[in-house]
Amino acid sequence: MWLEDFLASKRNTSGFSHSKIILTGEHAVVYGNPAIALPFPLKVEAVIEEVTSGIIVESTFYTGPLEQIPTKLEGIRACIQQVLIALKRPCDKLKITIHSQIPIGKGLGSSAAIAVAIVRGLFSFFETKLDDKTLSAFVHTAEVYAHGSPSGIDMATAMSDTPIWFQNGDIVRLEVTSPLHFVIADSGRIGNTQKSVSRVRALYSNDEVLKADSLRRMKVIAFAAKSAMAKGDIQKLGKLLNENHSELIQIGVSEDGLNHLVNTARSAGALGAKLTGGGDGGCMLALTDSKEKMEEISSTLTSAGAQQTWCFTIEP
């Protein structure tokens, strides 16, 4: 921070959010199918502080005036401007610093989480109450730029502290009755959700029968996964994750590197494994029945070429 900004700085506040993983139903959720997503504890903090002039954004992708933000962050610009207009502070002297642990383009919901943290931070800075409906409307603006026609599942999970069942914008908090141990592995390749969503749209619009069959099967998987979670039947849940991965291969959003990590996790004893998020690179997840197995699969995936792995458990 420059000295004059430091001296002028009166107060600062932060807004927070976190990443997400999709357990079942990515892509299908865009067509109104149900999906299950889990909050994943990689954090984003947006620090809002007062400076002497303009609106400055500081992040690892870009640091500078809001008006000059690069095209790929245009959604963030639109979202910030809309919030400031709504708060009747369009020309305020602000610095928005984004600290994010979420790698971008890896299917972990980085864009939604950043927007949620920024909107929360701005409302908190101007001491204005923020309800979920208002938050969703502003974050949706950013997500439309980032993904084209988002289902809203990334945003809903970035706002939730429990697993959710998501369908057509309706959100139901899900109960977990036995611990779910996950390994998430980053393939090292960046996916582009907007592109993979458009490709699936083209595939489905060329073949109505394939579309109906694919969506029907993924719907059955999502309902069965919800029931397996409620019963604590993690063996069944694992099988369903494998089935969901096969469906995602069918619609062309997996790739060799992800399939290799998925197969490696299964051979190393995972109950099930699949890609998570938009695909075409990004991350996969594996479900295991113990913390020990989770650590073992994590190091096997690293040896098999994963760029990074994370272990996490959802407790009942």
Kindly give the residue spans of alpha helices, DSSP state H, lying in 57-109: 74-86
What is the C-alpha to C-alpha distance for residues 184 and 298, in angstroms, rounded to an integer?
8
Minimum Å gap between C-beta 272 and ligand MEV is 19
Minimum Å gap between C-beta 263 and ligand MEV is 22
What is the C-alpha to C-alpha distance for residues 307 and 10, in angstroms, rounded to an integer?
41
Minimum Å gap between C-beta 62 and ligand MEV is 22
Which of 49, 66, 97, 154 is in the footprint of ligand MEV by CB under 6 A?
A: 154
31 phi, psi to nearest 5 deg: -100, 20
Q: Are 183 and 310 in contact (CB under 8 A)?
A: yes
Minimum Å gap between C-beta 114 and ligand MEV is 14
What is the C-alpha to C-alpha distance for residues 74 and 97, in angstroms, rounded to an integer?
16
286 phi, psi to nearest 5 deg: -130, 140
282 binds ligand MEV (CB under 6 A): no
**Neighbouring residues of 165: CB distance < 8 A, sequence distance ≥ 6:** 34, 35, 36, 171, 172, 173, 174, 226
Contact window for ligand MEV (CB under 6 A) among 8-16, 75-83, 148-156, 243-251: 148-156
Angle in degrees, CA 87, 42, 192, rounded to 5: 80
Which of 76, 155, 197, 215 is in the footprint of ligand MEV by CB under 6 A?
A: 197
39 phi, psi to nearest 5 deg: -65, 135
Count of residues interacting with ligand MEV (CB under 6 A): 16
What is the C-alpha to C-alpha distance for residues 184 and 26, in angstroms, rounded to an integer?
16
75 binds ligand MEV (CB under 6 A): no
Which of 278, 281, 298, 314 is in the footprint of ligand MEV by CB under 6 A?
A: 278
| Near ligand MEV in 17-36, by CB under 6 A | 22, 26-27, 29-30
Which of 95, 106, 120, 147 is in the footprint of ligand MEV by CB under 6 A?
A: 147
160 binds ligand MEV (CB under 6 A): no
What is the C-alpha to C-alpha distance for residues 78 and 148, in angstroms, rounded to an integer?
14
* Encoded amino acid at 12, one letter: N
- DSSP letter, residue 139: H
Minimum Å gap between C-beta 112 and ligand MEV is 8
**Which residue's Cβ lies closest to ligand MEV?**
151
Give the max Cα distance, the chain: 65
153 binds ligand MEV (CB under 6 A): yes
49 binds ligand MEV (CB under 6 A): no
Minimum Å gap between C-beta 200 and ligand MEV is 8
Minimum Å gap between C-beta 253 and ligand MEV is 8
3-class SS of residue 91: coil
| Chain contacts with ligand MEV (rule: CB under 6 A) | 22, 26-27, 29-30, 107, 109, 147, 150-151, 153-154, 193, 197, 277-278
